[in-house]
A = this chain, B = another copy of it.
Amino acid sequence: MNSGITYPRGFKATGISCGIKKDNKKDLALIYSESEAVAAGLFTTNKIKSASILVDLKHLQRRNSQAIFIISGNANTCTGKKGIENSQIILNLLAPLLSVEKEKILLASTGKIGIPLPVTKIKEAIPKLVASLSNDGKSAAEAILTTDRKTKEISFSTGIFGQGKREVRIGGMAKGSGMIEPNLSTMLAFFTTDAVIEPEALREALREAVKNSFNQITVDNEESTNDSVIILANGEAKNRKIKRETKEFKKFSFALKKASLHLAKMIVADGEGAQKVIEVKIEQAWCQKDANRLARAVAGSNLVKAAIAGSSGNWGRIMAALGRVRARLNPDTLDLFINGILVFSRGEKQVYQEKELQKSLGQKEVRIEVNLHCGNFSSSFFGCDLTEEYVRINKE
């Protein structure tokens, strides 16, 4: 059975090498819908934006798209007018080969900033790319990676049925690694679905899903210039059209959220040099902003991340990270648990087995829970540990 972005009906995909990356590694990907699809996208809030994103913001005004062309290894960012011109050259070549208007093609890119696209190489590869479209999403999922170690794919059913009991499906793929931080990151995620859905409903579902997944993860507190999350809905399940504020919408939205969270966690687990996933849960905070800020501060703290890399029970670093946040917090009423072990409460270190704590820190997942006992808001945030490997990767 097809998996990932080709799991929903009517989608094809491919990934090939055009020579941007060394050693014949795949660096171009294409997602194609056999019929026109409703499209929605969310992009980085970084003021420095890739030319790909500038193109998308324009194309998405039309709401319909049929393909996504992805370049990996070159960000096409800080490339000035030339960057936009190069995007147009690609679109002009690709559109007739796919028999779609060029405004119905979206772009995404990731990689080094400030280097002009090797447009000749890309042009030469495009016919081959189009010819290799297939029902297998795997090669596209490989092509979009940069320093990622693993592909990240998801296939999800929504519990909504269309004509002939065809279940509405969602497929997805993502790349992450460094520069992962809320408000998206050098994080690309692409979703496909065969749902029939209103454009507004699709946008809302995407916004909700991203808020609770990709915006709740951090690898290194960096926000990239190229972060993009795009979804295409081609209606091939022929279900009754999903509109906002309906039971079907809730089901669809829930499924997209689950799929997004799944990919987001895969991104964190595959963060540059990461060996452990850290989940930080803040409970009973004064307000939502406080909860989010505190969770993010702990998950993003270099000292906390390094301590967890070393399986160190140095929870003082967690306290220090919490204390520097602009949020309501009283150390005398705060409970701090690490992997379920209460280490700090009512202003003092608690009695616990140091060995037990250290052993539990050796696991692949570390859970930090903080109960502030001062309100009703909670927030979860996912991060990863900081290892020498992260520095090694980023020194290059």
Q: Which residues of A contact B (CB under 8 A)?
A: 45-49, 75, 77-82, 112-116, 178-179, 181, 183, 220-225, 301-303, 306-307, 309-310, 312, 314-317, 319-325, 329-331, 344, 346-349, 386-388, 390-392, 394-396
Flag if B78 contacts A346 (CB, 8 Å).
no
Flag if A348 contacts B78 (CB, 8 Å).
yes
Interface centre among A80, A387, A390, A391 (most CB of B within 10 A): A391
Residue of B48, B181, B301 touching A222 (CB-CB under 8 A): B301
Contacts of A323 on B, CB cut-off 8 Å?
Answer: 46-49, 223, 225
Given contacts A81-B348, A115-B349, 17 further A-B contacts (CB under 8 A): A46-B324, A48-B331, A49-B323, A80-B348, A81-B347, A113-B317, A113-B319, A179-B303, A181-B324, A222-B320, A223-B323, A302-B302, A306-B390, A309-B391, A387-B391, A388-B391, A388-B392
Nearest to A310 among chain B residues (CB) is: B395
If A114-B344, A222-B303, A320-B224 touch, whether A312 touches B395 (CB-CB below 8 Å) is: yes
Flag if A391 contacts B306 (CB, 8 Å).
yes
Residue of B183, B346, B390 touching A391 (CB-CB under 8 A): B390
Flag if A78 contacts B47 (CB, 8 Å).
no
Flag if B179 contacts A320 (CB, 8 Å).
yes
If A81-B347, A324-B46 touch, whether A391 touches B395 (CB-CB below 8 Å) is: no
Flag if B114 contacts A303 (CB, 8 Å).
no
Contacts of A325 on B, CB cut-off 8 Å?
Answer: 47
